[in-house]
């Protein structure tokens, strides 16, 4: 596995912790989702990235608000929703994803959207705690957080294979970014 992918996994784990997700199985599911949604690249991607922008314009009914990022947010209302969430989070000038949808391709924004959306149910109304807690883990049904049950068995198997070697620290601790994750 490449150093880039291992490094991105560590950054995603760090973002999970920063946003208060410390349950190992929830973090494993976030990583498995990124692995699937980015086709193993662990880079924010555009929907149908192997095709042209012209193809997306012609074939995607929600163009120009097609899937982008680690979780492929779609539709103008989601771009608007995450513009407001990002602006509030970063306490900055308005981050206008509607006017500049490719901003979702920024790794920092995309990572925040991934974790925030999965934690709070921003994509489908379903959130990590609905399927994965300290008492239960349902990786297959957790797919409903992103996209119904599409590819749910595949992603569940991916999550099961992820190993997080070190105990995930709580938000109150000062955590070193020295963890090992392997698929």
Q: Where are the domains of the chain?
A: 3-182
CB 142 within 8 A of CB 132: yes
Q: What is the pLDDT of residues 57-70, one digit of tens each?
A: 999 999 999 999 99
Question: What is the per-residue pLDDT for 163?
Answer: 84
Q: Which two tokens stand for residue 117?
A: 């959306």
User: What whole-number distance in Å separates Cα of residue 63 and Cα of residue 113?
Assistant: 20
CB 22 within 8 A of CB 121: no
Whether this prediction's pTM lies above 0.85 is answered by yes
The three-state secondary structure class of 89 is helix
CB 181 within 8 A of CB 168: no
Question: What is the per-residue pLDDT for 179?
Answer: 41
User: What whole-number distance in Å separates Cα of residue 153 and Cα of residue 117?
Assistant: 21
Question: What is the per-residue pLDDT for 1?
Answer: 62
CB 149 within 8 A of CB 108: no
CB 158 within 8 A of CB 167: no
CB 115 within 8 A of CB 15: yes
User: What whole-number distance in Å separates Cα of residue 57 and Cα of residue 103?
Assistant: 18
The three-state secondary structure class of 8 is helix
CB 169 within 8 A of CB 17: yes
Q: What is the pLDDT of residues 109-120, one digit of tens each?
A: 999 999 999 999
Closest by CA to 48, choosing from 34, 60, 65, is: 60
Residue 52: CB atoms within 10 A of its CB come to: 9
Helices (H), the chain: 3-18, 24-37, 53-59, 76-90, 107-120, 128-131, 152-161
34: pLDDT strictly greater than 50: yes
The CATH classification number of 3-182 equals 1.10.530
């Amino acid at each position: 596995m490449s150093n880039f992918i291992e490094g991105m996994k560590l950054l995603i784990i760090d973002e999970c912790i920063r946003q208060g997700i410390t349950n190992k199985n929830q973090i494993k599911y976030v990583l498995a989702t990124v692995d699937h949604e980015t086709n193993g690249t662990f880079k924010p991607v555009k929907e149908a990235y192997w095709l042209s922008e012209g193809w997306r314009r012609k074939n995607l009914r929600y163009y120009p608000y097609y899937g982008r990022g680690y979780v492929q947010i779609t539709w103008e209302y989601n771009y608007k929703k995450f513009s407001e969430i990002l602006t509030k989070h970063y306490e900055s000038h308005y981050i206008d994803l509607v006017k500049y949808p490719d901003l979702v391709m920024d790794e920092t924004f995309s990572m925040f959207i991934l974790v925030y959306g999965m934690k709070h149910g921003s994509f489908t109304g379903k959130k990590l705690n609905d399927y994965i807690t300290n008492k239960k883990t349902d990786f297959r049904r957790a797919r409903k957080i992103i996209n119904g049950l599409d590819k749910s068995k595949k992603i569940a198997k991916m999550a099961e294979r992820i190993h997080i070697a070190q105990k995930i620290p709580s938000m109150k601790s000062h955590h070193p970014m020295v963890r090992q994750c392997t698929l």
